[in-house]
Amino acid sequence: MIELRTIRLIRHYYPIGCGVTTVLEDFVGRTLSSKMKSLKLVYGLIRKHHIVSMAELVDMTKYKYPSCVRLVEELLEAQLICENGVGESSGGRKPFLYTIHSNYRYVIGVAIAQGYTRVVLLNLNLDVLHERVLKMDANCTAAMTLQFIVSEIEWILTERIASSELLGIGIAAAGSLDTKAGIIQSNLYLTDDWAHVRIAEQLQHRFNTMVKLNNGSVLAALGEYRKNYWKDTDSLAYTVSGFSLRCGMIANGQLLRNNGYMEDSFGHTVIDIHGPQCQCGAFGCLETYASIPAIRSEVVKRIKQGEASLVTDMADPIERVHMEEILHAVEQGDRLCRDVVEKAASYYGIGISNLVFMNHIDTVIIGGFMASHPFLYDTVVQTARQRLLHYPKCHVTFSKPQSTYNGAAIGAGCMIVDHFIL
């Protein structure tokens, strides 16, 4: 119990000031006192490393041992952190380990996408405590979807947590956004009334809490990074392949600034100036090779030119062929579909290697349909790796996302936690 005794001794010489214990909300502000900055730093390190000993905190902060003990004691008193067992001894008694009190406060993450709208309740460790989804169809107008979101949050605040325990609500949405004002400007893949939707203002007014908005792929990158990669790297790209090709980036351990209306710009990087014309007007954008519409239209074109394929019997008319059917045909050994999909995945791998060349990232998460099938995923990674061979020292880790369906919603909640702690 040497550490507890030390804490008591230290407290005798360094009494905690003012008799007011810190709360998480105290960490926000431009003019924090130096003590508050130190508390925030120690709390942030414990959050980042999940479980740490006092010696590790001393090593990471470079504070003197008594100062670190004092800060940890204050965080313990405020119940922001708690003890979490003991670690390995390096000779003396085993050291206490500390972790953040994950249920001290909660955040709500909302993700609005073409397929589903999702509402999740998260603790400070970004563990999903509750999740509800709305399948999006032609009836899901902005008003109706907002009603679903509001009633879900009301349920959470009645049944799961008190309003005072809620730090805020993060929203992830595809499309063109005004992130500062919290407005969804437009979304090509939702109903027409998803235009100029002042979603942050409405939820803020209804629940009297902080509400922030950002793009889905950007927030998926943030959530995936904080939950699974933060300790090991400070740079990461998270790519999402679907009807458009999107990307979120982490640089120096922080979300790279994004403007909210260029989420799909990864898809408009030009791979071949002599390629087909893109909806943006340019020729040979990555999207014209590696998006779902590009793959579908290539399969349809070649079938109409007379090539045989298993999907001919799966869709009538053939223009209605689904990506799932194409992937199913690939599994059955269909040569045409395999050829089209392989080319698309190769182009996607080139796009990813370009991302690495430009940004020197060391971790790439490949999300969306490119990760849905081993053949696609392996082709993407192989192509990217081959191009990166030019730099033998360049070691990039490629992975699939660990949170596949709710990654954007988790990231939306993470955006709120980051606001208070980073």
List interacting residues with Zn ion (CB under 5 A).
268, 278, 280, 282, 285
Which of residues 107 and 290 has its CB atom nearest to Zn ion in the complex? Answer: 290
Which of residues 145 and 244 has its CB atom nearest to Zn ion in the complex? Answer: 244
Instruction: Tell me the two tokens of residue 184.
Output: 């969804």
Which of residues 266 and 420 has its CB atom nearest to Zn ion in the complex? Answer: 266
| Minimum CB–partner distance for residue 280 and Zn ion (Å) | 3
For 306-321, what is the HEC assignment?
A: CCCCHHHHCCCCHHHC
The enclosing H or E element of 328 equals: helix 323-331
Angle between helices 374-388 and 335-359 (to 10 degrees): 40
Which of residues 118 and 268 has its CB atom nearest to Zn ion in the complex? Answer: 268
| Minimum CB–partner distance for residue 216 and Zn ion (Å) | 19
Which of residues 74 and 287 has its CB atom nearest to Zn ion in the complex? Answer: 287
| Minimum CB–partner distance for residue 285 and Zn ion (Å) | 3
| Minimum CB–partner distance for residue 289 and Zn ion (Å) | 11
| Minimum CB–partner distance for residue 264 and Zn ion (Å) | 9
Instruction: Tell me the two tokens of residue 193.
Output: 């009334």
Number of CB atoms found within 10 A of residue 141's CB: 14
Could you tell me which of 60, 64, 24 has the C-alpha nearest to residue 42? 60
Alpha helices in 50-176 (DSSP H): 54-61, 65-77, 142-159
Which of residues 111 and 295 has its CB atom nearest to Zn ion in the complex? Answer: 295
| Minimum CB–partner distance for residue 287 and Zn ion (Å) | 5
Cβ neighbors of 199 (< 8 A, separation 6 or more) are 146, 171, 173, 182, 183, 184, 211, 213
| Distance, CA of 213 to CA of 415 (rounded, Å) | 9
| Distance, CA of 102 to CA of 158 (rounded, Å) | 20
The enclosing H or E element of 173 equals: strand 166-173
Instruction: Tell me the two tokens of residue 48.
Output: 């980042």
| Minimum CB–partner distance for residue 283 and Zn ion (Å) | 9
Which of residues 75 and 278 has its CB atom nearest to Zn ion in the complex? Answer: 278
Task: Specify the long-range contacts of residues 173-176, CB closer than 8 Å, at least 24 apart.
Answer: 173/111, 173/112, 173/113, 173/199, 173/213, 173/215, 173/216, 174/112, 174/113, 174/114, 174/215, 174/216, 174/217, 174/244, 174/246, 174/263, 175/263, 176/260, 176/261, 176/263
Which of residues 149 and 278 has its CB atom nearest to Zn ion in the complex? Answer: 278
| Minimum CB–partner distance for residue 262 and Zn ion (Å) | 12
Which of residues 12 and 274 has its CB atom nearest to Zn ion in the complex? Answer: 274
| Distance, CA of 144 to CA of 201 (rounded, Å) | 17
